[in-house]
Amino acid sequence: MKAKAKSSAWKTHIDGATILVALSGDWVARTDGVELGVAAKFIKPSVRALKFDTAKIGHWDSALIAFLLNIRRAAGQADVALDYGGLPVPAQRLMRLASDPAAASPTKRPSTFLDRVGLQAIMIGTQGVEATALVGDILLRGAAALFGRASMRGVDLVDAMYDAGLAALPIVTVVGVLVGGILAFIGATELSKFGAGAYVANLVAIGMVREMAALMTAIIMAGRTGGAYAAQIAAMEGAEEIDALRALGIPVFDYLILPKVLALSAMMPILYLYGCLIGIFGGLCVGAATLNVTAMSFFVEAQQSLTGAEFALGLAKSLCFGAFIAVIACHVGLRAKRSAAAVGAAATTAVVIGIVGVIALDAVFDLCASVIGV
């Protein structure tokens, strides 16, 4: 007898071309030492038939079935006839019920590296086309909305504007003050070395108005609002709420997408202006603390350093950033698969694309501004 670990055990007796496998002890799956894959040891070339003796078997569960399925698979490959007569009747029923996992055709073909590259390329292309179509839809429906011909609900727009505007003020305030303060601190440290500490106000004002207010606000909104949009739409997709809209003939763009895109596009410039103000205030606080600059002189310096073009650039950026974040978030949400995991994945994707895209767009804006001399 070949003892197995713990209680399950088997022994074999060969009689001519027939092998008798006698099982004893408990065959319970969660018992340590139950060995399931020993079938190959039974199936010798000389064996043509296999029988079982389970007179001494104790408790058993799916471990016995897994053991028997392994034998069945090996016997099938070696053309050995199996006789289940010696098995407990319930086990015989389960063996009839269980189809062979190995014999079943896999429902997914293993993909090669080239397959995956090709599929990825097709997916990226498809996404590009779909995103372009979405932008087109938004432009068309947005124009219709301006003339009052979109079936968008006003209350949805107001809700979205509140969420993307007023509700975002606390975080914009915190980040704006800190960024303005950091700019002033760096300026005070470095510019003082050259006796140019008085230009801290210029640094903070231009830094915030041209770059940081628009960029930081956009990054905040990509993380906060873009992620929320994508998660909400993905969850609705998973719960078939969007299918319900489509089935009833309610335009998904008008009801779901347009309010979000319009709200974020409208609120971003306002948040940008607020971010400028609060950032300059943060700079003033640090400037006053480190350089003994008065508020009046700080604001005068800041005012003199700024032109309308700086604000126009910042406003244009923030408008584009807002629209970009909303479009990407809605696009990602609409493409989400129908599962709980897809909701998290959609939110992550929307945030990552939103932040990276905003930074890339910012670089393009700066390049263009440099070319046209703004």
Partner 1 sequence: MASAAPPSPMLEVVGLAVGFGETVIQHDVSFRVESGSIFAIMGASGSGKSTLLKALIGLLRPMQGSVRIAEEDYWAASEARRGEIDQGLGVLFQSGALWSSMTLAQNVAFPLRMLSHLDKASIKQLSEVKLSLVGLAGAGGLMPAELSGGMVKRAGLARALSLDPAILMLDEPSSGLDPVTAKRLDDLILELRDGFGMTIVLVSHDLPSLFAICDDGVFLDGQSKTAIAHGAPSRLRDECRHPIVQAFMRRERPATDTDISGAPHDSR
List residues binding partner 1 (CB under 8 A).
Answer: 28-30, 32, 34-37, 57-63, 65-66, 69-70, 88, 90-91, 93-94, 97-101, 103-108, 337-342
CA pair distance 50, 187, nearest whole angstrom: 87
Contact 338, 237 (CB under 8 A): yes
Q: Closest approach of Cβ 96 to partner 1, in Å?
A: 8
Provide, rounded to whole angstroms, the least separation between the CB of residue 368 and partner 1: 42
CB of 219 vs partner 1, minimal distance in Å: 28
What is the nearest approach in angstroms of partner 1 to the Cβ of residue 116? Answer: 15
Residue closer to partner 1 (CB basis): 1 or 104: 104
Q: Which of 22, 302, 289, 263 has the alpha carbon at shortest distance from 159?
A: 263
Whole-angstrom Cα distance, residue 316 to residue 297?
Answer: 29
Handedness of CA 107, 112, 114, 119 (dihedral sign): positive
Give the nearest distance from C-beta 10 to partner 1 in angstroms: 16
35 or 130: whose CB is closer to partner 1? 35
**What is the rounded distance in angstroms from the CA atom of residue 79 to the CA atom of residue 128?**
54
Helices and strands per DSSP (H, E), number in the chain: 15, 5
Q: Which of 88/251 has CB closer to partner 1? A: 88
Longest Cα–Cα distance of the chain, Å, equals 108
H helix runs in 248-339, sequence order = 252, 258-291, 295-305, 308-334
| Of residues 31 and 305, the one with the C-beta less far from partner 1 | 31
Q: How far is the CB of 59 from partner 1 (least distance, A)?
A: 5
Please tell me whether residue 246 adopts helix, strand or coil conformation.
helix
Residue closer to partner 1 by CB (options 105, 370) is 105
81-83 and 49-60 beta bridge pairing: parallel
Half-sphere exposure of 4 toward its Cβ, with a 13 Å CA cutoff? 20
Strands across the sheet with 2-3, in order?
2-3, 9-15, 18-27, 49-60, 81-83
Nearer of residues 37 and 118 to partner 1, judged by Cβ = 37
d(CA 162, CA 265): 13
Least gap, CB of 60 to partner 1 (angstroms): 5
Residues with Cβ within 8 Å of 22's Cβ and at least 6 positions away in sequence, in order, are: 10, 11, 12, 13, 52, 53, 54, 55, 56
CB 35 → partner 1: shortest distance, Å?
Answer: 8
Closer CB to partner 1, 72 or 224, in the complex: 72
Q: Which is nearer to partner 1, 13 or 93 (CB)?
A: 93
Residue 100 has a CB neighbour count (10 Å cut-off) of: 10
Q: Which is nearer to partner 1, 81 or 239 (CB)?
A: 239
Q: Smallest distance, Å, CB 75 to partner 1?
A: 16
